[in-house]
């Protein structure tokens, strides 16, 4: 299964030469948790995603989108045959409600 959120956080952290402990301190969690988030072993909550985006100085919606993509993929991973149809139903509902 993919880990879009964690991979992106790791890329940004490496690019900006930020240590795991620096993000951990900002979130007031231990370094091991941040490592697990990057590896996809743990899922952050929405507030943590927002704090990480702020700390990395990137658009919050960018990380929230990846976080949500991970959640969706996790939810449908065991039903790949039905996943596409289910996501199309949701997509169409979102379009209708948006208009």
Q: Domain limits of the chain?
A: 4-98
- Indicate the pTM of the whole model: 0.84
Percentage with pLDDT > 70 across the chain: 97
- Residue 49's closest CA among 69, 74, 32? 69
Q: Residue 85: pLDDT above 90?
A: no
Distance (Å, rounded) from C-alpha 48 to C-alpha 38?
A: 13
CATH H-level, domain 4-98: superfamily: lambda repressor-like DNA-binding domains (1.10.260.40)
- 1: pLDDT confidence band, cut at 50, 70 and 90? low
């Amino acid at each position: 299964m993919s880990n879009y959120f964690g991979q992106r956080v790791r890329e940004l952290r490496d690019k900006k030469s930020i240590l795991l402990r620096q993000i951990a301190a900002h979130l007031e969690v231990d370094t091991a948790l941040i490592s697990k988030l990057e590896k996809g072993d743990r899922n952050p909550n929405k507030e943590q995603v927002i704090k990480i985006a702020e700390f990395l100085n990137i658009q919050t919606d960018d990380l929230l989108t990846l976080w949500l993509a991970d959640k969706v993929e996790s939810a449908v991973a065991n039903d790949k045959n039905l996943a596409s149809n289910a996501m199309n139903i949701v997509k169409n509902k979102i379009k209708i409600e948006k208009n």
